[in-house]
């Protein structure tokens, strides 16, 4: 490198250091860059043993349908057509949309066609596409509190104002919701979306009752606010399927539903969708600028579905996750009865544990990391983290091997006892 090139390099390095680049970033990016990474452990704590994880909400790795997916992929690659290896545009791979339409018609009792579905790179991309299409900076999105922190990042990314509404055992608190909408309207703010995870909610594990769904639909119609229903965990029921879907109750109007195969098959596939009336689907399709999805993955998944492999796999994993939930709930009641209380979820991946008075989630999270067990502190799931909230832990049991669950609970018990004794990390 000659002197002139080195001088240019040194000058550019001095100008474009990270802090200077942040000055060019938009407001959402600056907010995100200065906040705690929700999925990372505390960086200043060194675990004293190899980590176990009760913080990962993804499918059990031992029971992934590897053989079925491998055979499906092999069949796709052996096809002389190059469609699996080129761009794919439009609403997405037809056989998957056809499968989803037939499944929805059969299970929800509302006939729909494949035109009611837009495939996306997972449900997170579906949410991102909806908010990029619907939200102007300053528009209000009302969310459950607590709620999934990943969706909050989507909302922050488009400059939305997030308004949290508390929940009870049936779902959103409707009195509080109505009052907050009235207040926001009086402030000349535009409420665009109400975001809910209506089945086996992340992080609480609860589901919205039929009565509460009906009340929510009536309020949203009266106020002309769209509902964004995230059903990522809807197929992970332990005993009975979730009650009638918001989309079916509304006839498909005023409700935008997002779903995914990530939680029931594998997260790396990135096959999700938006379900809405065809006019809405056309609108969202016009806002897609990603040059299409992974056509190899779509065709592999399409073959997996067409061979009828999802249904037996779904039955197997529902049994597995119910077994894991029962085991860890029993272990928590045995080892941490003085420290946590919770309701047993009826589906999904998560147990929402309320800490006993005097225990702080942040201290338990940090001390648990030192003991070699990762959990999620509950405050990260509340949109307004600056406000005081009850102290919770989200305990994810889906990914952790069965043989590690007992030791994981023992380590968490040790961490809670340390915090109670004034020995927090």
Higher pLDDT, 340 or 389: 340
- Sign, Cα dihedral of 232, 132, 147, 38: positive
State the CB neighbour count (10 A cutoff) for residue 336: 22
Higher pLDDT, 81 or 118: 118
Structure tokens at 153: 């990042």
pLDDT in tens, 219-265: 999 999 999 999 999 999 999 888 899 999 999 899 999 999 999 99
pLDDT in tens, 351-382: 999 999 999 999 999 999 999 999 999 999 99
Query: Which pLDDT score, from 0 to 100, does residue 8 have?
Result: 85
CA dist 108 and 259 (Å) reads 14
pLDDT in tens, 23-70: 777 887 777 776 666 567 888 899 999 999 999 999 999 999 999 999
Query: Which pLDDT score, from 0 to 100, does residue 84 have?
Result: 87
Mean pLDDT across 207-215: 97
Residue 241 per-residue DSSP state:
P
Query: Which pLDDT score, from 0 to 100, does residue 29 have?
Result: 77
CA dist 79 and 67 (Å) reads 19
Query: Which pLDDT score, from 0 to 100, does residue 355 have?
Result: 98
Q: List domains and CATH numbers for the chain.
A: 36-64+312-420 (3.90.1150.10), 77-308 (3.40.640.10)
Which value, in Å, is the radius of gyration of the alpha carbons in the chain?
23
CA dist 270 and 125 (Å) reads 9
Phi-psi region of 275 (alpha: psi -120 to 50; beta: other; left: phi over 0): beta
CA dist 52 and 379 (Å) reads 21
CA dist 362 and 378 (Å) reads 8
Per-chain mean pLDDT for the chain? 93
* 337 Cβ neighbours under 8 A, 6+ residues apart: none
CA dist 373 and 268 (Å) reads 24
Q: For 79-173, where are the alpha helices, taking DSSP H only?
A: 94-108, 122-134, 149-157
Among candidates 374, 356, 357, which has minimal Cα distance to 365? Answer: 374
Question: Structure pTM?
Answer: 0.93
């Amino acid at each position: 490198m000659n002197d002139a090139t080195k001088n240019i390099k040194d000058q550019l390095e001095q100008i474009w250091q990270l802090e200077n680049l942040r000055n060019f970033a938009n407001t959402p990016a600056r907010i995100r860059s200065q906040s705690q990474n929700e999925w990372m452990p505390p960086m200043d704590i060194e675990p004293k043993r190899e980590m176990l994880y009760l913080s990962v909400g993804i499918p059990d790795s031992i029971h992934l349908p590897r053989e079925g997916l491998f055979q499906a992929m092999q069949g796709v690659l052996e096809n002389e057509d190059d469609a699996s290896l080129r761009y794919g545009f439009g609403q997405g791979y037809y056989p998957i949309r056809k499968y989803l339409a037939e499944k929805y018609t059969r299970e929800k009792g509302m006939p729909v066609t494949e035109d009611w579905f837009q495939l996306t790179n997972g449900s997170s991309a579906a949410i991102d596409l909806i908010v990029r299409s619907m939200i102007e900076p300053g528009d209000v999105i009302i969310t459950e509190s607590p709620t999934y922190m990943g969706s909050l990042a989507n909302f922050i990314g488009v400059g939305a104002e997030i308004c949290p509404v508390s929940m009870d055992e049936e779902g959103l608190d409707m009195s509080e919701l109505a009052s907050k909408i009235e207040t926001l309207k009086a402030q000349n703010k535009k409420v665009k979306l109400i975001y809910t995870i209506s089945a086996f909610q992340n992080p609480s594990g609860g589901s919205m009752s039929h009565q509460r769904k009906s009340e929510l639909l009536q309020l949203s119609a009266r106020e002309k606010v769209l509902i964004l229903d995230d059903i990522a965990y809807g197929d992970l029921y332990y005993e009975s399927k979730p009650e009638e879907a918001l989309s079916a109750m509304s006839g498909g109007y005023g409700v935008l539903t997002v779903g995914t195969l990530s939680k029931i098959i594998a997260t790396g596939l990135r096959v999700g969708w938006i379900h809405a009336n065809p006019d809405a689907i056309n609108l969202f399709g016009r806002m897609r600028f990603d040059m299409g999805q992974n056509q190899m993955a779509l065709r592999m998944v399409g073959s997996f579905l067409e061979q009828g492999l999802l249904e037996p796999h779904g039955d197997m994993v529902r049994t597995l996750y119910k077994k894991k939930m029962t085991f860890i709930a029993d272990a928590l009641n045995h080892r941490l009865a003085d420290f946590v209380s919770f309701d047993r979820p009826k589906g999904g991946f998560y147990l929402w544990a309320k800490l006993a008075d005097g225990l702080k989630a942040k201290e338990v999270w940090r001390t648990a990391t030192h003991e070699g067990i990762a959990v999620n502190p509950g405050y990260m799931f509340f949109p307004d983290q600056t406000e005081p909230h009850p102290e919770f832990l989200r305990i994810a049991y889906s990914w952790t091997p069965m043989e590690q669950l007992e030791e994981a609970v023992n380590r968490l018990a040790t961490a809670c006892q340390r915090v109670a004794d004034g020995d927090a990390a």
